[in-house]
Amino acid sequence: MLEAEVQNAGYQVHLEVFEGPLDLLLHLVKKHELDILDIPIAFITQKYLEYLDFMSSLNLDIAGEYLLMAATLAYIKSREL
């Protein structure tokens, strides 16, 4: 099941291989505890853009932090392909 949602704690990702905040996903990928090839970056990006639309009206600092994390995940995956 693929799902992403906004909660008070921030952007939450729900995948078959991971459930939790985007920053934890990035940390686990960097530590090689999750295989980046198992992460559907296109899905996360699509849902994150929806999240950004919502957050842009609330707090640009938070939106910028999450954008950096999403870009880093995409970069790491591109190196593995």
Distances (CA, A) of 21 to 6, 60, 65, 69: 10, 18, 12, 11
CA 19 – CA 22 distance, rounded (Å): 9
Distances (CA, A) of 77 to 31, 33, 53: 13, 14, 24
Kindly state the DSSP code that residue 47 receives in the 8-state scheme: H
Q: What is the pLDDT of residues 19-76, one digit of tens each?
A: 999 889 999 999 999 999 999 988 888 888 887 777 667 667 777 788 888 899 999 9
pTM score: 0.59
Q: Are 37 and 78 in contact (CB under 8 A)?
A: no
Residue 14 lies in domain: 3-80
Number of domains present in the structure of the chain: 1
